[in-house]
A and B are shown apart, each in its own frame.
Chain A
Amino acid sequence: MPSPISPEIWPARDYSRVPYRLYHDAALYEEEQKKIFRGPVWFVLGFEAEVPNVGDYRATQIGDTPVVFSRNEDGTVRAFVNRCAHRGAEVVRYPSGNAKDFTCIYHAWCYKLDGDLVGVPFRRGANGAGGMPKEFNLKDHNLTKIRVRIWKGIVFGTYAAEGEVEDLETYLGPLMCEHVGDLMRKPIKILGYQRQRVAANWKLYHENIRDAYHGSLLHEFNRTFGMSRLTQVAGGYMDDKHRHSILFQYAGSDSDEVARAAYAENGVQRGDYMTLNDYGITRHFVENKLGISTRIISVFPNIFFHQIYNTLAMRQLRTLGPGEFELVWTLFGYEDDTPELTQHRLNQANMVGPAGLISMEDGEALEMVQRSTQPDTDKAGVVEMGGIGEIRSLDTRAQEVTIRGFWAYYSQLMGLEPAGAQR
């Protein structure tokens, strides 16, 4: 058995080296489930728009725990762990639907929409024999409840009692309130889902989302059509705790000529730039006041939002062990979208998801990292773009400081912060 991971694991106190072991250690993964996914955080279950009517429910996963959220009789959204209080079977078996109550198929224990146990068949026995002991109290055997808060149509949840975690708005902070709030500024309409499974550690996806550097190097479509280039007005911002992050940019803030010369000089672009038959996919109708063309937002610990031109999505990360995660993309538009705008969003969805013209590459990049770091877990990756030392927001995409910010917050939560660490 390897010794447990301790704060000494960090070769550098500014997180400019990331030990490969963090992507592979099974004991660490178990700790993360406890200290992060069941810890003092607000995670996201889904959208209110996914459960509009009483009895609507949706099964999802927080960390590796199966959970369900549903619309209760009183109109509120409730959530619970999807595990029967009797012998532990999954109570809800379909990914989504509408129910009057939740009845476990194993021994037919019946729960109300809010997760309260209301029925135990043969509780008094059969023909005067058997049955539950007299002291058995239904109230002691409800489904494990999750505390829910709705914010702008997003269903947040936590296992933490009040006082154990900040209130939701404080947790999100002004940066997330501004940008996620802007994406959720009016009622949304769900357009559909895209899902992928990546054979890599979940934290590699957090790093990837915060990796401002790779966007136009790995994703050639981005630099070809100017959706994202290092030569644009852009930035990577974090909240005070570096818990959440946003990468953003303004397409059209660089000229094609200057940008292309820069990439050629840096040895990136070796061939000709390609052209398209139909440039509809690269059209951006500016919808936000700030004029931002792309925003990639990370809300710790389990979701990401994106606005890439006019495609909008929330990506939910579900862990499947140290070496695999699932990403569920929920694409949305707004209720007041015209049919033409909906069509445009459906078309631009070609850019995202597991078949996305600017996102199919990420899964492969992360799987390669996972494979090749496995045999040498005492070595570490280098994170120095944008400078070392202080962790701060920068007005450029030629940086990886936002990745160091992730590790700074992660280490605090996990009790892995080295003495004198950058925060």
Chain B
Amino acid sequence: MNLELQAQVSAFVLRTAVLVDGDELETWLDCFHENSSYMVVPRENLEAGYGIGLMRCDSKAQLQDRVAVLRHASKFNPHWDRHILSGTAITSAPQDGVVSTSTAFMVVQTQLNGTSSLFCSGSYEDEIEVGAEPRLRKRLVVLDTFTVSNCLATPL
């Protein structure tokens, strides 16, 4: 195993989750390559081969719009998220500087009244451009918890 590569992608995936939990979504956007996509797809659609996602951003511009709308034009349950990640598994050898990885996650959501519950579980199926500054080329968020409690406002 390439320990250096493993360390690099693990740290990078962890960073993306920590940025979301810290509500640093504008910095989180910097983790995406100019040509990248971000999709949150319910597991039932994936298994049936259906294209519908809960969030489906085929370009970075659309993902930026998602964050902008969240900031300026959305109302939802104010909350804190905590991503609990598994280790990151490298699922394919680097090709043209891009590796595929898989990372399981759980998100515990805390409401303003101080109660916490498991909001969802799933996995990140990522394509990461590795190097001095890693970037996501693609993030597919597979949502095992495919019925959403109330709403999914902040990205996963």
Chain A residues within 8 Å of B, Cβ to Cβ: 95-96, 190-199, 218, 220-221, 224, 271, 274, 276-278, 280-281, 326, 331, 342, 346-347, 349-350, 353-355, 357, 360-361, 363-364, 367
Interface contacts (Cβ under 8 Å), in number, total: 123
Contact A347-B58, Cβ < 8 Å, known A220-B74, A277-B64: yes
Residues on B with C-beta less than 8 A from A364 are: 75-77, 150-151
- CB B94 to nearest CB in A, in angstroms, measures 30
How far, in angstroms, from A224 to B58 measured CA to CA in the complex?
23
Task: Check: B65 CB closer than 8 A to any chain A CB.
Answer: yes
- Chain A: which residue is nearest B61 at the CB level? A277
- CB B80 to nearest CB in A, in angstroms, measures 16
How far, in angstroms, from A357 to B74 measured CA to CA in the complex?
7
Q: Which 5 pairs of residues, A with B, have the shortest CB-CB distance?
A: A192-B52, A192-B50, A277-B61, A195-B147, A354-B148
- CB A321 to nearest CB in B, in angstroms, measures 15
- Chain B: which residue is nearest A311 at the CB level? B52
Judged by DSSP, the binding face of A is: mixed
Chain B residues within 8 Å of A, Cβ to Cβ: 40, 42, 44-45, 48, 50-59, 61-62, 64-66, 68-69, 72-77, 146-153
- Chain B: which residue is nearest A224 at the CB level? B73
- CB B112 to nearest CB in A, in angstroms, measures 12
Asked if B55 and A196 make an inter-chain contact with CB atoms under 8 angstroms apart, the answer reads no
Asked if A331 and B52 make an inter-chain contact with CB atoms under 8 angstroms apart, the answer reads yes
- CB A171 to nearest CB in B, in angstroms, measures 30
Residues on B with C-beta less than 8 A from A194 are: 42, 52, 54, 148
Residues on B with C-beta less than 8 A from A195 are: 42, 44, 146-148
Residues on B with C-beta less than 8 A from A96 are: 48
Residues on A with C-beta less than 8 A from B58 are: 347
Asked if B68 and A355 make an inter-chain contact with CB atoms under 8 angstroms apart, the answer reads no
How far, in angstroms, from A258 to B72 measured CA to CA in the complex?
22
Within the complex, which residue of B42, B64, B65, B76 is in contact with A360, where a contact is CB–CB below 8 Å? B76
24 contacts between A and B (CB under 8 A): A191-B50, A191-B52, A192-B52, A193-B45, A193-B50, A194-B54, A194-B148, A195-B148, A196-B149, A197-B147, A221-B74, A274-B69, A274-B73, A276-B65, A278-B59, A331-B52, A346-B51, A346-B52, A354-B148, A355-B152, A357-B69, A361-B76, A364-B76, A367-B77
How far, in angstroms, from A192 to B54 measured CA to CA in the complex?
10
Residues on A with C-beta less than 8 A from B54 are: 194, 353-355
- Chain B: which residue is nearest A198 at the CB level? B150
Asked if B69 and A221 make an inter-chain contact with CB atoms under 8 angstroms apart, the answer reads yes
How far, in angstroms, from A195 to B43 measured CA to CA in the complex?
11
Contact A360-B152, Cβ < 8 Å, known A192-B48, A194-B54: yes
Asked if B52 and A355 make an inter-chain contact with CB atoms under 8 angstroms apart, the answer reads no
Residues on B with C-beta less than 8 A from A347 are: 56, 58, 62
- Chain B: which residue is nearest A277 at the CB level? B61
